[in-house]
Each structure stands twice: as structure tokens, then as C-alpha cells.
Amino acid sequence: MKSPDVRWHPHSLDRLTRAQLKGQQGRVLWFTGLSGAGKSTIANLAERTLWGMGRHTMMLDGDNLRHGLNRDLGFTDIDRVENVRRVAEVARLMVDAGLIVLVALISPFRADRALARQRFEPGEFIEIHVDVPLALAEARDPKGLYRKARGGLIRQMTGIDSPYEAPERPELLLDTSVLGAEAAAQRVVDLVRAQGASRGVISQ
């Protein structure tokens, strides 16, 4: 429970000032999808392209965060909710700093992603559904997780014994059963450029 003695401290520099220094609008690109869909691969490729364009970026990968910030969390529904909440809060701080933040996180529940969206100003949260049929994700199985789940070695595997709720109206849908990683990443970059150009902040 938050103490009544904890109060918000105003800062002299606001998010607009920080973003203007970088020549871009801070935003979060939230990649959601099954394990093996290609979220991290596509986000990494998109970030490299944005970096090459002179954009200021930061990638938050779900697995990497579980080595540090979220190392105390498991995979129960409650822990998954907290996992998304923490990542959203970190991403918001980075967006406040004017960064383009690429989040690669299964984030299986619609309600949690909706709460994450609420932490941002309108237009700052871009939900990207990296879609793939479960059978293809299992065939890829880059981490061997599906094989372990089918063998009963791990539980609460998204898509097996824990549900994945696909976005109903994502800003971008990437079907990686027909779209390669490079092409998918380019669609992400094109979306960022189009949205930035509409605000007059990204010209490259």
C-alpha cells in the first residue's frame, strides 16, 4: 500500500523538452505474441534500423528482464500480471526521456496490455501482434520450451496450458508464417516513420 507521505515531485524538464532535444517523439512499440513467434528477432532488427536512422532507442526483452528486474517472478497468472506492470512502468520512464522503446514480451492477457497502454499518452503505445499458428511456433521452438511443456517438464506454458489472448485491434499485425523477419521489421520502421512524419518529428 502506498504511504500517504509519498508525493509526486515535479521536474523542471518535461517529456516534451526531452523529446525535442532528440528530435523525435518518445513512444513504446509493444511486441506481443507466442514464444517462437519472432518478437525479439523482429524488434532487434527494427531497433538496428532505427538506430541507423539516428533515432534514440532502447529494447526491453522479456527474457533479459527476468535475469534482473523481474528475476523474482515466476509464470503464474499473478506473476505475469506483475511482469507486464513492471515492464510498462520502465518503458514509460524511457518514453518520458524521449526514447523509442521496443518491448518484446509475450504479455498474454489483453487486460494487462490494456493497463500498460493506459500508462502512456494517446498515440504513444503501439501494440504489435507478432502472430503465428501454435503449430508453427512449436515447430520452431528455439528455446525447447514447447517440447518441455508437452513432456510435462514445465507448466504454465503460454499456448499449451496457459492461454494467449490475441490483440483484437493492434496498431500493427505481423503474420510471421508468411512474413520474414527482415520484412516484418521494415513494416515496424515504416509505421514509426509514418507516425513521426505526421507530427513533423522524424524526417529521415
Domain ranges, ordered by start, for the chain? 15-198
Q: Which residues pair with 58 in a beta bridge?
A: 101
pLDDT grade, residue 204 (50/70/90)? very low
CB proximity list for 177: less than 8 A, separation 6 or greater: 131, 132, 133, 136
The catalytic residue among 40, 107, 177, 198 is: 107
Higher pLDDT, 204 or 169: 169
pLDDT at residue 1, as a whole number = 57
pLDDT at residue 133, as a whole number = 95
Say yes or no to pLDDT of 116 above 90. yes
Q: Which CATH number, 3.40.710.10, 3.90.1720.10, 3.30.420.40, 3.40.50.300, labels domain 15-198?
A: 3.40.50.300
Verify whether residue 12 is a known catalytic residue.
Answer: no
| Predicted TM-score of the model (pTM) | 0.89
pLDDT at residue 8, as a whole number = 64
CB proximity list for 31: less than 8 A, separation 6 or greater: 39, 40, 42, 43, 102, 103, 104, 105, 128, 130
Cell of 200: 513533423
Closest CA to 113 of 170, 59, 66: 170
